[in-house]
Structure 1
């Protein structure tokens, strides 16, 4: 029986996606023979309700120097992080000489705004290439993993932080005990630890199963976050539902007793209990729907191949590795995936080995059907690619269920 990484309770496995590659492990054709695979299975702790992977992939394999994801590639995400930075500065750093620390700063999408305001800051990210992009925007970055030892070094050199922030990062870190101890060492007495990540409630409701992959070790809920925080002397004092990345929650933590939790915290926890989002029966129903969605997508792709239709995909996302490898979708069913990230273009997708093409080739000529792997940016992409639909193209989406636009 697997023990919970948070409370050591027993973990009930509710789905197994089988053998999977590194979700951001894009390859050259000559590199496919030595590709790394692991077992992607997910379970829920019967005690603290934390949803988590059953096996951990070594962090050095996932977050390499050439990690290809860039937060700033999406206009809507750039706007989101700009608003977030201004809000944190205005509400938490109005006076004095505050310090803002970001765990997993990526290419500086948030901290570049902090830097532009002249506020002391530090980004921590283990991936050299994106850190260099952030540095080019005027962001101070330390290339490393955030954990207790590093946090103590930063506290000794910089003093306490009024804000410690993370976006789509905390769910990546299995060793939350070290992170929380690091936050405890670095955070000012009245400071806040704010992080936003995919929300279990949205994943279950929308059957967005591809949010489960190697980098997403945890799927958080308000209930599980509060339970984890309290183990390390913190309390959950605010929650905010966010529309980004298919549904997230922003969690604000403070030292126990430092702030009164808002009514939104209890309201969301009550809602989670009523919906039983971490209940075994709920998660097993989710598993049944996942299988149905994949089976229907597979049947559609096979039919389109038999009819001779031109098919492709859009967005060489990390989460699409779960879809293609669990579904067995290779270049025979999806001959190409178009993506705007230069670091991915010309490579093959992890495991499935679908060629990644630059967006400039998307219209040369347009496919007839396109699987939208980047469905969490559907509105932005469909608006941007209006010409595709105007000439008769159809988008294929598989969240929350298979449908064609």
Structure 2
């Protein structure tokens, strides 16, 4: 039986997406024999209720120099990280010589804003793709000791869409214990299980998301590693996230938002297996509805392309069996993905300029979490008679 990565109690599996590729490894035509696949199954710990992948991909395979996601590609995410930085500058980084560290900083949008304000900052980023001062390593006690000896303790350690992908969290918290100042805070934001269940956004489940946090599970996680959950904030980005603030025990008064969220989670049954089993049934229905719709549209002669070669789209396309026979290509703004194939499903990725050459009849929006931004940008597609296909929270056409 599988065991929880945090508390070692048994995990109850509730869904199996079967054979899946690395979601950010876009192969070239001649590299298909080198693709890595694993079983993507998800379960809940019977004790701490932490939802997690049954089998995880080794981190050295998932995070690499060619990792293709960059926050700066989205104006919405740029604004989000700039606002996050300004909030830290107004609250936590107000001392004589503040210091902020970001784990998994990607291309460093948040840290650059702090740096522009004169705040000392450092990224801890194994892929090396930051554009700011960086320590290239996975974050643990060894990395934290080197950083503390060189720069002192940190007032803020921050991580966005990173902690949920760390297979073994104990070294991270050991590093936090070394690096965090006595009154410092660890702030991280990740996809929220409550949103995933409410929206049936099952494509949030892929190799880079090992854990799917709830407020209850993060509280237990913090207690286990010698910290305290003192605040939470709901965020609209990436389909619904929560920003968690952890501190050393007794150093901060917990916000009422924590207790409120715990009551809401209990009322919604987020720690109950039956809730997850109902979610699983809805996932299967979405798959069946989407595949039937695509086949029906193609049979009627409609031209359909994909929009947004996201990591999420890997789970969607491979679980649903969507390949180039249904979607001849997918458009994406990321140069590193263009000219390659989508993981596992092998749909060609073309520049976004191909979307209008000519416009298709329908566009399957894989990047649904950026729907407002994309639809505003592609207004001419709608004006030309084109329609968007979405599958969150259910299959529908707009």
**Is TM > 0.5 for Structure 1 vs Structure 2?**
yes
Give the secondary structure class of the aligned counterpart of 1:190.
strand
Give the secondary structure class of the aligned counterpart of 1:20.
strand
The corresponding residue for 1:8 is: 8
Give the secondary structure class of the aligned counterpart of 1:362.
helix
The corresponding residue for 1:157 is: 150
The corresponding residue for 1:96 is: 96
Q: 1:142 offset after TM fit, Å?
A: 1.6
Q: 1:204 offset after TM fit, Å?
A: 0.3
Structure 1 runs, 4 residues or longer, greater than 6 Å off: none
Residue of 243, 258, 275 corresponding to 1:282: 275
Q: 1:278 offset after TM fit, Å?
A: 2.7
Q: 1:401 offset after TM fit, Å?
A: 0.3
Q: 1:82 offset after TM fit, Å?
A: 0.4
CA RMSD of aligned residues (A): 0.7
Give the secondary structure class of the aligned counterpart of 1:274.
helix
Give the secondary structure class of the aligned counterpart of 1:41.
strand
The corresponding residue for 2:284 is: 291
The question of 1:343 aligning with 2:336 is answered yes
Q: 1:261 offset after TM fit, Å?
A: 0.3
* Whole-angstrom distance in 1 between the partners of 2:11 and 2:388: 38
Give the secondary structure class of the aligned counterpart of 1:110.
helix
The question of 1:398 aligning with 2:395 is answered no
Unpaired runs of 5+ residues, structure 2, are: none
* Whole-angstrom distance in 2 between the partners of 1:278 and 1:355: 40
* Whole-angstrom distance in 2 between the partners of 1:278 and 1:212: 18
Check conservation: 2:231, 2:254, Cα contact below 8 A: yes
* Whole-angstrom distance in 2 between the partners of 1:237 and 1:264: 9
* Whole-angstrom distance in 1 between the partners of 2:332 and 2:326: 18
Check conservation: 1:242, 1:248, Cα contact below 8 A: yes
Unpaired runs of 5+ residues, structure 1, are: none
Give the secondary structure class of the aligned counterpart of 1:252.
strand
Q: 1:158 offset after TM fit, Å?
A: 1.2
The corresponding residue for 2:318 is: 325
The corresponding residue for 2:175 is: 182
The alignment of Structure 1 onto Structure 2 pairs a total of residues equal to 398
Q: 1:269 offset after TM fit, Å?
A: 0.7
* Whole-angstrom distance in 1 between the partners of 2:145 and 2:363: 49
The corresponding residue for 2:125 is: 125
* Whole-angstrom distance in 2 between the partners of 1:258 and 1:57: 36
Give the secondary structure class of the aligned counterpart of 2:55.
coil
The corresponding residue for 2:82 is: 82
* Whole-angstrom distance in 2 between the partners of 1:217 and 1:43: 11
Check conservation: 2:11, 2:43, Cα contact below 8 A: yes
Give the secondary structure class of the aligned counterpart of 1:319.
helix
Check conservation: 1:78, 1:109, Cα contact below 8 A: yes
The corresponding residue for 1:57 is: 57
Q: 1:37 offset after TM fit, Å?
A: 0.3
Give the secondary structure class of the aligned counterpart of 1:370.
strand
Residue of 212, 217, 222 corresponding to 1:224: 217
Give the secondary structure class of the aligned counterpart of 2:290.
helix
- 1:102-251, aligned counterparts within 5 Å? 102-128=102-128, 130-131=129-130, 134=131, 139-251=132-244
* Whole-angstrom distance in 2 between the partners of 1:387 and 1:163: 44
Residue of 338, 353, 368 corresponding to 1:360: 353
The corresponding residue for 2:366 is: 373
Check conservation: 2:59, 2:167, Cα contact below 8 A: no
* Whole-angstrom distance in 2 between the partners of 1:266 and 1:150: 34
Check conservation: 2:229, 2:244, Cα contact below 8 A: yes
Residue of 252, 260, 268 corresponding to 1:259: 252
Check conservation: 2:19, 2:37, Cα contact below 8 A: yes
Deviates more, 1:210-219 or 1:146-155: 146-155
* Whole-angstrom distance in 2 between the partners of 1:278 and 1:320: 27
Q: 1:291 offset after TM fit, Å?
A: 0.3
* Whole-angstrom distance in 2 between the partners of 1:344 and 1:142: 26
Check conservation: 1:51, 1:278, Cα contact below 8 A: no
Q: 1:233 offset after TM fit, Å?
A: 1.1
TM-score, with length taken from structure 1: 0.97
* Whole-angstrom distance in 1 between the partners of 2:296 and 2:33: 30
Give the secondary structure class of the aligned counterpart of 2:261.
helix
Q: 1:148 offset after TM fit, Å?
A: 2.1
| Per-residue Cα deviation, 1:171-190 (whole angstroms, up to 9, x for no partner) | 01011111011111100000
